[in-house]
Structure 1
Amino acid sequence: MHRYPTIILSAATVVAALGLSGCTTAGPPAATPSSVVSAATPAGAPLPDPAALIDVLARLSDPAVPGVQKLALVEGSTEADAGALDAFARALADNHALPLGIAATDLAFSDRDPANVTAEVTITPAGAEPDRAFSFPMEFTPAGAAWRLSRQTANLLLTINAGPPAPPPGALPPPGGAGEPVP
């Protein structure tokens, strides 16, 4: 299966979303990008420092970090995902979006999995004004003393292990699709 085009498409989508996010009426991120909502799990565990979550995303977007070294940053990733992680960072670099400005706010424990943490993550591409920031809710899962991006969030952002992208509405099926013989 060819994942490279899917990852490039995914990175291009993220870059496009970063570029188009200037159309929103939302103001710039809060003055303290590392603000934390004070909360704890029923067991009393504290929320992580936002810097730990920001570091996960910064390393995932860093083209200098090889994909195999990024595997520990995504829940359930395998060596087959390394190329996709490399391609994602490369696409961000090719689109001059790096370094990304990253802020994590509104940290809370997940309703879906109480061990996980959710955060509203705001990303600003290199050289962009704060009003061009893109915000997205993300979920992180504990990995010992560290944190990693949940597989569900990674699949949404990076399209890891996904099949080929769906054709746009109205597009013709590829040759050989829908019962047609391949020439």
Structure 2
Amino acid sequence: MYRHPVAVRSAAIAMAALGLSGCSPDPVPPAPTATISSVAAPPGQAQLPAPEALTDVMTRLTDVSIPGAQKVALVQYATPEEAAALDRFAHALADNRLPPLDIRATDLAWAAGQPGDVVATISILSAAPDAQPFVYPMQFTPAGSGWQLTRATADQLLDMGRDSTAPVPPR
């Protein structure tokens, strides 16, 4: 099976989580765990977004036909220099024959400590016969009339090519 020449942590997580460990007879390690707590609606916002608003972000991030430069706006604090990393993520998924993907958002709630942010359990299911679902709590932040994956969630899931010791930009 052809593998993308660039090691992309996000694709490795997705492949492991989807159960595509390739040639290894060892069991697939469990998906990383994260805890995101929720709170009541922030002042002035009575309704959570539709689940489709959040799944659209993930669908576009995983779509190989959308250039990385257009995906920068989908990740909080992402820069044009990170467009190539976003391209690598989608291409690694495609190279491993995971698409088409079925992406679902459930358990939407307001994020604790980040007024206006929303947390959701995101399930990514592949059409690949041996694939296991990838289920992970993700946080999204409002951006204009849409939503972005928060930088903290993106850093957990995607290899954005940044130095991990560099400070995250202030919010």
Normalised by the shorter chain, which TM-score bucket?
Answer: 0.7 to 0.9
SS at the partner of 1:127? coil
Q: Counting strand residues as a fraction of each chain, which structure ranks higher?
A: 2
Deviation at 1:23, TM superposition (A): 7.1
Matched residue type, 2:134: F
2:140, 2:148 within 8 Å by CA — same for their partners in 1? yes
**Correspondence 1:101 to 2:102:** yes
Deviation at 1:116, TM superposition (A): 0.4
Deviation at 1:18, TM superposition (A): 1.3
Q: Distance in 1 between matches of 2:20 and 2:11?
A: 14
Partner of 1:55: 56
Partner of 2:71: 70
Deviates more, 1:39-48 or 1:64-73: 39-48
Instruction: Number of aligned residue pairs: give it.
Output: 146
Q: Distance in 1 between matches of 2:69 and 2:20?
A: 31
SS at the partner of 2:47? coil
Matched residue type, 2:138: M
CA spacing shift, 1:40–1:67, aligned 2, 3 Å: same
Matched residue type, 1:106: D
CA distances 1:88-126 after superposition (whole Å, capped 9, x unpaired): 000000001112111100000000202100000111112
Tell me the C-alpha RMSD between the 2 structures.
2.6
Partner of 1:140: 140
CA distances 1:153-177 after superposition (whole Å, capped 9, x unpaired): 011110213348xxxxxxxxxxxxx
Partner of 1:18: 18
Q: Distance in 1 between matches of 2:160 and 2:82?
A: 7
Matched residue type, 2:85: A
Q: Distance in 2 between matches of 1:99 and 1:50?
A: 19
1:155, 1:162 within 8 Å by CA — same for their partners in 2? no
Q: Which has the larger radius of gyration?
A: 1
Deviation at 1:73, TM superposition (A): 0.4
TM-score by length of 2: 0.76
Q: Structure 1: 5+ residue runs without aligned partners?
A: 25-38, 165-183
Q: Distance in 2 between matches of 1:104 and 1:162?
A: 28
Q: Distance in 2 between matches of 1:53 and 1:152?
A: 16
Partner of 1:115: 116
**Correspondence 1:90 to 2:78:** no
TM-score by length of 1: 0.71
CA spacing shift, 1:162–1:41, aligned 2, 3 Å: same
SS at the partner of 2:89? helix
Q: Distance in 2 between matches of 1:9 and 1:138?
A: 17
**Percent identity among equivalent residues?**
48
Deviation at 1:20, TM superposition (A): 6.4
Q: Distance in 1 between matches of 2:20 and 2:86?
A: 23
Partner of 1:171: none
Partner of 2:9: 9
